[in-house]
Amino acid sequence: MNKLTTYINESVQELHAVRWPTRHQAVRLSGIVIVFVAASTAIFGVIDYGLSQVIKLLLSLT
């Protein structure tokens, strides 16, 4: 039990030493992540659609 309390106390001390981003930085970085995820989703969606059309074409030829 002593090791657990030591671990928790040291973890809390480390969290106090962390330099947290400002609200403006957090909002800006969250926006960048959302845009990147949306762009990646769109790209993978187009690739998936194209590959599914190729598979349908190949299956219709047999």
pLDDT at 39 over 90: yes
Domain assignment present for 50: yes
Q: In which band, very low, low, confident or very high, does the pLDDT at 28 lie, cut at 50, 70 and 90?
A: very high
Total domains in the fold of the chain:
1
Q: Which domain holds residue 49?
A: 22-62
Domain assignment present for 17: no
Domain assignment present for 7: no
For the record, the structure tokens of 44 come out as 């993978």
The mean pLDDT value for 2-19 works out to: 94
Domain assignment present for 6: no
Q: In which band, very low, low, confident or very high, does the pLDDT at 1 lie, cut at 50, 70 and 90?
A: confident
Structure pTM?
0.65
Domain assignment present for 9: no
Domain assignment present for 5: no
Q: How far apart are CA 28 and CA 42, in angstroms?
A: 21
Domain assignment present for 11: no
